[in-house]
Amino acid sequence: MYKALCVGILLGALAPLQAQIEMPQPSPKAELKQAIGLMDASITYSRPSARGRKIFGDLVPFGKLWRTGANMATVIEFSDSVTISGKNLAPGKYSLFSIPGAQEWTLILNSVWNQGGTSRYDEAKDVVRIKTKPEIIPFTETFTIDFNYITRNSAFVEISWETSKVSFKVETSVDDKVLANIREALNISATSYFQAARYYYDTNRDLNQALEWINKSLEMEERFWVLRQKALIQAKMGDYKNAIATAEKSIAQAKEAGNDDYVRLNTDSIEEWKKK
């Protein structure tokens, strides 16, 4: 009786120690985050490796639903509404599934994000399905998801493993929010006017409005990078004479500040504008 009691106490003492043992995972968890426009996107997934195995058409069968990774289903989250394959998705989390094929894949976003594997998958909860052709790529040992081709309002989600890559585009609305921010920020600082003018210049909007804002910024505080932006606006409006004069003022201030980059940029632009 005493011996059994001692053994029981010993096993009870060892149990917590055994529960605390941590082991490397064969398909470690990964998380990536990416700002797209004014929206944040993140992907959480597990990354299996090939380890000498044939992947697509074997370990991952063609024509069957795949969790697109290992362990729990891959999760993609958007902090704001997005458009994928022409469909609008609300902010939130979505599970990412796929049906690989030799010639075509189906990529699926499902509204039930916390799923383990495919056993609880419900096609009725799909929010978007995308047909896409796989690309042939150099061999990729470890399953990889990444963001690529990032612009001011979009990015591609790329899924790569073995010698195959598929992708889909995520788009987000930027202009309405930026314009709203401009309206709220104006009359606050020289920087606000500068940022508003530069946005109008970059997005090919009303250049007269951009010139008005850049002038207000310069009235508050004259800085060489703001003068540079004004010269660019003037040149885009076809007013090369004044653009050159403004660029020369920017060069003078940039030299005083010891900024060789702006001296070079303005000098190159002046040479180009003199040919117009």
Taking only the tens place, the pLDDT of each residue in 162-186 is 999 999 999 988 767 767 776 676 6
Q: Name the helix (H) or strand (E) containing 224.
A: helix 224-236
- Residue 194, pLDDT above cutoff 90: yes
Average pLDDT of the chain to the nearest whole number: 88
Q: pLDDT class for 55, splitting at 50, 70, 90?
A: very high
- Residue 2, pLDDT above cutoff 90: no
Angle, CA of 226, 230 and 231, to the nearest 5°:
115
Average pLDDT over residues 9-28: 59
109 contact partners, CB below 8 Å, separation of at least 6: 76, 84, 89, 94, 95, 96, 126, 127, 128
Q: What is the pLDDT of residue 276?
A: 83
Of 46, 11, 18, 48, give the one whose Cα is nearest residue 31: 46
Q: What is the pLDDT of residue 17?
A: 47
> Residue 261 burial (CB < 10 Å; 0-12/13-18/19+)?
exposed
CATH of 175-273, one of 1.25.40.10, 3.40.50.300, 1.10.10.10, 3.30.420.240: 1.25.40.10
Q: What is the pLDDT of residue 117?
A: 78
For the chain, the domains span 24-171, 175-273
Average pLDDT over residues 46-53: 95
> For 22-26, 137-141, 229-233, which range has the lowest pLDDT when averaged over its residues?
22-26
